[in-house]
Structure 1
Amino acid sequence: MPASAWWLAALPPLFFSGNFLFARAMRDAIPPFQMSFWRWAVALVILLPFCLPAIRAQWPRIRTNLPFLALLGAVGVTAFNCFVYAALHHTTVVNAALVNSLLPIATFLLAFLILKQKLAPRQILGIAVSLAGAAVVIARGDVTALRSFSPNPGDLLVLAGMSFWALYTVLIRWRPLGLEPMALLGVTVAFGVLFHLPLVAWEYRSLGGFTLDAASAGTILYLAIFPSILAYIFWNRSVAVLGPGRTGMFMHLLPIFSAILATLFLGERLALYHALGFALVVVGIVIVTRPPAAKPA
């Protein structure tokens, strides 16, 4: 297997970690809904030349499925990103990345609730272990105090955002058959940008706008290009070369990259409960996603 394939799989979690880092670092300069809106508006401008030919060619199929595509945009672009950026005003990059690493578990739970997929006892055990890891992080290591503990609202906002992305992951299974990926991406992002508008209007009236300087412009460009476009291109290529199973395991690098970047650039401190929570989440994910042992013939 060429070394370039492993780099392709490692770069998306690095770019996503940068997403957390910039959102946290610029939290006092750019309000969260405006940050999310401009990220995706700029990304849409970059994507449109590549998406428009597919959208025009498949417009009859797109028009028939507009309500579903609008739902994908609302859930996967607007809700997920707005919750995460709002969360990073209240919690650290490390906590956000660790809580977000519950995504595979949330996806399994929603698939059980929506798609009626059965959960084996092994998977229930894995979900419980991962949830215990999240509880350790949210409670900052004092799980005995959970009954009277008031969790950081940022951690809960990350949980909400991650749940919306898990819902998007489940819903995408019903994407219109035959719809080209670039057409799907372009229309979904366009709806996501559109649904940002009332949130941005409310936020602007409440908090005002932001100053467009080198730091804010650089942040928007990074968010629009790296975690929004390049990460998905590299991820899809990695899936084609390494397969979905191997590629998916690289997402465990997200909290590791996030912890390194946050420690180096934001001065965040790692605690023992971060390591314990991460270990429990990863063990739970491995238990849930590992295929059952083959029955002897």
Structure 2
Amino acid sequence: MNVDRKKLWLIYIMLAVATSTWGSAFIAGKIAVESFEPATVAFFRFFGAAMLLFPLMWYKERNIPKPTKKDWFLFAMLGLTGIALYNIFFFLASKHAPVIKSSLFIAANPVLIIILSVLFLKEKITKNQVIGLILALVGASIIVTNGDLGIFVAMAFEPIDLILLGAVICWALYSVIGRVVLQKYSSIVSTTYAVGFGTLFLLPFAVRETSLTDIASSSMNTWLAIGHMSVFVTVVSFIMYYYGIQQVGAAKASIFINFMPISAVVMASLFLGEAFTLPHLIGAVFVLFGITLSNYKKSVKNQNLKPKKKLV
């Protein structure tokens, strides 16, 4: 295996770790919304992340290009779509929607990202990617329904579905706009400015719905959950995800989102005592095979992957 292929597999591993870590947000979010409203949880999560990201960016990035007005607009759009709105929608769903329905909507993210990537970024999609995406979606569906696909038929439309649809659209826009920003800026810089703007957008909601009494009466578990989301789900995972987008494209990177339901089920089994069943295992195999297939052609034939920036 040459150096380029090793680098490619390292990127795939990073994407798998990043998206698997996001699965823990389902559990942490459930804990946090017991003490705070969704927008407040999102604000504290990203305020904590911003406190870590800005010093990290200033330390690691010595020659950051001076942002233009267009760059600031794109950073603001990243903060609005992927940080503020997406997380308000996500935590609203955590509070009011069944985990199964939330997981299914999130698992559909790669489909919309691929469509937008083809339309606006002119990324090329291979047959292997399409087949792999379908297999991964089937696997994700098996996991979150525990093998009872008849749940799809039983699910009725609810107002919360519009919130979940909004979350999917926002994350797809965040991924596609991020691909544009990453042509000029590193993953650390892009993530830091996005989180900074998103935190500012969330501040008015947090001030409006939260009092000092709410903060004082919140539990230690709530702050541990928010701290976990700040450090691991945001700082570490967002940087890795954006680095993956920068190197392999938004369409290919998005397929790894299907690792989320696997990690969510495993963590629910470990920390909440929920059973890990045979359908979960079968679904995981589908997801892993689908992701492997979607990346197989690239990892074998593309020997000339040239990263644009150094690994952070």
TM-score normalised according to structure 1 size: 0.71
Unaligned runs of 5+ in 2: 1-5, 302-312
Q: How does 1:239-250 map to 2 (within 5 A)?
A: none
- More moved, 86-95 vs 5-14: 5-14
Match of 1:266 in 2: 272
Match of 2:262 in 1: 256
Q: Deviations over 1:96-136 (max 9, x none)?
A: 45653444333212223434556566655555555555666
- Of residues 35, 39, 51, the one that matches 1:33 is 39
- More moved, 137-146 vs 254-263: 137-146
- Per the alignment, in what secondary structure is the counterpart of residue 196 of structure 1? helix
Aligned residues between the structures: 287
Distance 1:140 1:154, change over 3 A: farther
- Per the alignment, in what secondary structure is the counterpart of residue 202 of structure 2? helix
Match of 1:188 in 2: 194
1:18 aligns with 2:42: no
Match of 1:161 in 2: 167
CA drift of 1:67 comes to 1.6
Distance 1:269 1:24, change over 3 A: farther
Q: Distance in 1 between matches of 2:225 and 2:267?
A: 15
Q: Distance in 1 between matches of 2:127 and 2:103?
A: 27
Q: Deviations over 1:35-87 (max 9, x none)?
A: 1111101111222223357699644x244422222111111111222222222
- Per the alignment, in what secondary structure is the counterpart of residue 297 of structure 2? coil
- Native 8 Å contact 2:53 2:192 kept in 1: yes
- Native 8 Å contact 1:95 1:137 kept in 2: no
- Native 8 Å contact 1:90 1:153 kept in 2: no
Match of 1:223 in 2: 229
For 2:200, the aligned partner's letter is L
RMSD: 4.5
Distance 1:31 1:275, change over 3 A: farther
1:110 aligns with 2:116: yes
Match of 1:47 in 2: 53
CA drift of 1:32 comes to 1.5
For 2:267, the aligned partner's letter is L
Distance 1:42 1:282, change over 3 A: same
Q: Distance in 1 between matches of 2:295 and 2:51?
A: 37
Match of 1:66 in 2: 72
- Per the alignment, in what secondary structure is the counterpart of residue 171 of structure 2? helix
- Per the alignment, in what secondary structure is the counterpart of residue 72 of structure 1? helix
- Native 8 Å contact 2:259 2:287 kept in 1: no
TM-score normalised according to structure 2 size: 0.68
Q: Distance in 1 between matches of 2:293 and 2:141?
A: 18
Distance 1:137 1:87, change over 3 A: farther
1:150 aligns with 2:156: yes
Q: Distance in 1 between matches of 2:127 and 2:21?
A: 35
- Of residues 73, 89, 95, the one that matches 1:89 is 95
* Percent identity over paired residues: 24
- Native 8 Å contact 1:87 1:153 kept in 2: no
Distance 1:56 1:250, change over 3 A: closer
Q: Deviations over 1:176-230 (max 9, x none)?
A: 753344433322111111221344355449xx94534422222222221111113
Distance 1:268 1:96, change over 3 A: farther
- Per the alignment, in what secondary structure is the counterpart of residue 18 of structure 2? helix
Q: Distance in 1 between matches of 2:263 and 2:183?
A: 36
Q: Distance in 2 between matches of 1:126 and 1:250?
A: 11
